[in-house]
Amino acid sequence: MTSARSRPSGEPAPRGPGHRLATAGSIGCRFGTSDAADGWEELCRHALSNTRRCLETLRADPRSGAGNDRQHRLRGDLATHRHNGRDMEQWEYEVTSGGRVRYVIDDDNRTVWLIYASPRHPKDTDR
């Protein structure tokens, strides 16, 4: 069985933090942590088509949320996240009923940094 990291048709194919998931002319998507890369691989194993749809949405317009109840900006303490020494907007995409991808948007570099990816719901919203 081929893993999501090496599956040619199962893009994204993560290689670790900073690995670029992009095509020419699109917004770049990169892993901010190795945990996010591992979680993305696990999401691909559980729900490949939904994970691909998430990636396509993030590449096209990471802030859209328009007509998409699966994508929203986080609120309160989670509204921003410090990445690479800068505070950035933090958003979440619901890949499956429990699976989530959290990302921050780096407008200056046209990059979305994936901070969290897992088929399980993050615990910090269970307050």
pLDDT digits over 53-103, tens only?
Answer: 999 999 988 988 665 688 999 999 999 999 999 999 999 999 998 999 999
Please, which pLDDT band fits residue 121 given cuts at 50, 70 and 90? Answer: confident
Q: Are 49 and 56 in contact (CB under 8 A)?
A: no
Please, which pLDDT band fits residue 41 given cuts at 50, 70 and 90? Answer: very high
On average, the pLDDT of the chain sits at 81
Exposed, middle or buried, 97 (CB in 10 Å: 0-12/13-18/19+)? exposed
